[in-house]
Homo-oligomer: A and B are copies of this chain.
Amino acid sequence: MDASPFFQLPYWDALTGEERTLVEDNLRTLRFPKGALVLAGGDCLGLLLVTRGCLRAYLLSEEGREVTIFRVGPGECCVLSATCVMSQIHFETHMEAEEDTELLLLSSGVFRRLTEENVSIRCFLYEMAAERFSEVLWIMQQILFMGFDRRLALFLLEASRREGPRLRMTHEQMARDLGSAREVVTRMLRRFSQEGLVELGRGSVIVKDPEGLRRLAGE
């Protein structure tokens, strides 16, 4: 199978010829229709690389509440579907196909063998994991400590009632109004934009889904 999307990932040029063949011989293509569950918490499928569509990863509470933690789009890969390959790492995420999705899967067994043989692939694994974890922690900190998603949603709703959907203000100004840091505003707006709640322009934010913002704000 054509493994070239994998060989374009960072560190994968460090594979030996034999290891490259191992990857090529062990890849599978999986297809999921929109809405299908791709990974249930605790599953360890292996290393995923999305070739078409999009996966949504989320955490699920005991009461069934979902929190979206990241998305995996075309050309991107995800190692949190292979946590069993990492000793000492326990993290359960769920993933669903947000659109009709096609992905390449390298099984946990083969992926584990590569990480054991080749320190570069091991480094790839932990670097990817650390980056994802860092993103997820940021989201959880915002929710847990600040309710910052709520606060920003409320702020945008109030401003759009005054000024209409197109808000002409910088992230810096919003941060000042909200008593927060510019970086926090920027990252949360980016997340809102991925969720379709707002559209980001130069020096402006356009409210696209006031109903969604109201739900988030608990209004």
Contacts and interface: CB of A to CB of B under 8 A. Distances in A.
* This chain: copies in complex: 2
A120 interface: yes
Contacts of A143: 144
A120 B127 CA distance: 12
Interface string A130-150: 110110111011011110000
A119 B123 contact: yes
Contacts of A88: 131, 134
A62 B146 contact: yes
Interface residues of A, number: 34
Contact of A141 (B59, B120, B138): B59
Task: Identify whether the interface residues of A are mostly helix, strand, loop, or mixed.
Answer: helix
B140 A89 contact: no
A129 interface: yes
Contacts of A136: 137
Residue from A91, A129, A130, A145 whose CB has the most chain B CB atoms within 10 Å: A130
Given A133-B134, A133-B137, 20 more contacts: A14-B119, A61-B146, A62-B145, A67-B144, A86-B127, A88-B131, A90-B138, A91-B134, A91-B137, A91-B138, A119-B120, A122-B123, A122-B127, A123-B123, A123-B126, A129-B133, A130-B130, A136-B137, A140-B141, A143-B144
